[in-house]
């Protein structure tokens, strides 16, 4: 069975992206994403969302996760079975590393 390990590489803050010119929001978006901790790892089996994973982020990474699951590769990556990508939260994105492994 092919599994995908999802590791949280980095959480970014709004100020890292916009500096002092952050967009006006209806809430406090100055901190980084509260759902993840850097270094946290999750395992996706059969393409399913791991327990405790953010549903919005999972939708964002699902296409690449599925590509890896079915032995797809990313030609710009020298190491096979790996891809780095982020969620689409433009105010406080989270960067993930996806790794295919058999287990």
Could you list the pLDDT tens digit for every one of the 103 residues in the chain?
Answer: 899 999 999 999 888 888 888 777 777 767 788 899 999 999 999 999 999 999 999 999 999 999 999 999 999 999 999 999 999 998 889 999 999 998 7
- pTM of the predicted protein model: 0.92
6 phi, psi to nearest 5 deg: -115, 115
**Degrees, nearest 5: CA angle 80-85-91:** 170
> In degrees rounded to 5, what are phi and psi of residue 31?
-90, 175
């Amino acid at each position: 069975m092919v599994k995908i390990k999802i590791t949280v590489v980095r959480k970014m803050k709004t100020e890292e992206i916009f500096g002092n010119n952050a967009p006006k929001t209806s809430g406090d978006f100055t901190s980084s994403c509260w759902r993840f901790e850097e270094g946290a790892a999750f395992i996706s089996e059969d393409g399913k969302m791991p327990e405790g994973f953010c549903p919005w982020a999972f939708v964002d990474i699902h296409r690449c996760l599925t590509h890896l699951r079915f032995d797809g590769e990313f030609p710009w990556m020298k190491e096979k079975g790996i891809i780095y990508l982020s969620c689409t939260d433009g105010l406080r994105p989270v960067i993930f590393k996806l790794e295919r492994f058999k287990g």
